[in-house]
Structure 1
Amino acid sequence: MTTPHSEARDEPVDPDVGLRTAVRRRTSWREQAPVVAVVAVGGGIGAAARYGAALVWPTAAGAFPWTTLWVNVVGCAVIGVFMVVITDVWAAHRLVRPFFGTGVLGGFTTFSTYAVDVQQLVDGGHPGTGLAYLAATLCAALAAVWLAATATRRVLAWRQR
């Protein structure tokens, strides 16, 4: 007779996936703690940089939130460069990507503030500005990642010649 636990291990998690594929590697707290720590530290650094930008270039109520737009665009461009560098050029330490990509750049870019800015513009009687900001941020952020990644790949290819 088998116990319920041993029966559960004999069945795949998904009927389309074999048992060997479905086995998950359990990670311990000791393995995850450094990742959580570097994401937290990086996030604090990125958020402080974003806050500094908002202090230097404040946005008046009802005005187009240029600072948040540019913070997001610059952050997305840096993400594009960073991802190319750590995937195509540099075999980075396992904590570099969580620290810089998720932490610093995740804390620097602010799509939650972007959503609040859109809501405040619409609620404040500026729906056209809110919609323009909504579309401009989306298009500019996507374009920044793509252009930065493409330009980085081209520069790297040119330097290898």
Structure 2
Amino acid sequence: MSQLVFIAAGGALGAVMRFGVSNAVHAVTGRDFPYGTLTVNILGSLLMGALYVLLVERLIETVEWRAFLLVGVLGAFTTFSTFSMETVALIEGGEPLRALLNMLLSVTVCVLATWLGVLAVRQL
């Protein structure tokens, strides 16, 4: 039961962080392309890689901390479902090339960011 409380608390924090980061990015870039979601997914992927190494491979922290940070905070912070809906909206809005660009950037850059996070922390 305590693990669920940690996940819920982390999820609340991650959701608020996602809202803030996404809105800050859109304030700079505008809303004609889902740059906010892309930024959140890249940053979340980088943090997932780094925190996974720290919490699982290095520090072997408690299950509660892993649940709070990896499942709760980063699970709510990253926005794959939002990415999917925004991509469908681009397709339905007659912009299939922008939808394809969003898919390619989101998947490739986020996987790369996760890998970079893993590599960076393993070098410490």
**Paired-residue identity, %:** 32
TM-score (norm 2): 0.92
1:43-101 superposed Cα distances (whole Å, 9 cap, x missing partner): 111011111123223342xx221111010000010010001111232131220011000
Who is 1:7 aligned against?
none
Bigger helix fraction = 2
Who is 2:119 aligned against?
150
Q: Is the 8 A contact 2:22 2:40 kept in 1?
A: no
Of the candidates 14, 18, 30, which is equivalent to residue 46 of structure 1? Answer: 14
Who is 2:25 aligned against?
57
1:141 Cα deviation after fit: 0.7
TM-score (norm 1): 0.72
Structure 1 unmatched runs, 5+: 1-32, 157-161
- Bigger Rg, which one: 1
The higher relative CO (CA closer than 8 Å, separation ≥ 6) is in: 2
1:120 Cα deviation after fit: 0.5
Aligned residue runs from structure 1 range 102-117, under 5 A: 102-117=71-86
Q: Is the 8 A contact 2:11 2:72 kept in 1?
A: yes
Q: Match of 1:50, as an amino acid? A: R
Root-mean-square deviation (CA, aligned residues, Å) is: 1.1
Alignment pair present for 1:118 and 2:118: no
Alignment pair present for 1:35 and 2:9: no
Structure 2 unmatched runs, 5+: none
Give the Cα–Cα distance (whole angstroms) in 2 for the partners of residues 152 and 128 of structure 1: 36
Who is 1:17 aligned against?
none
Q: Match of 1:44, as an amino acid? A: A
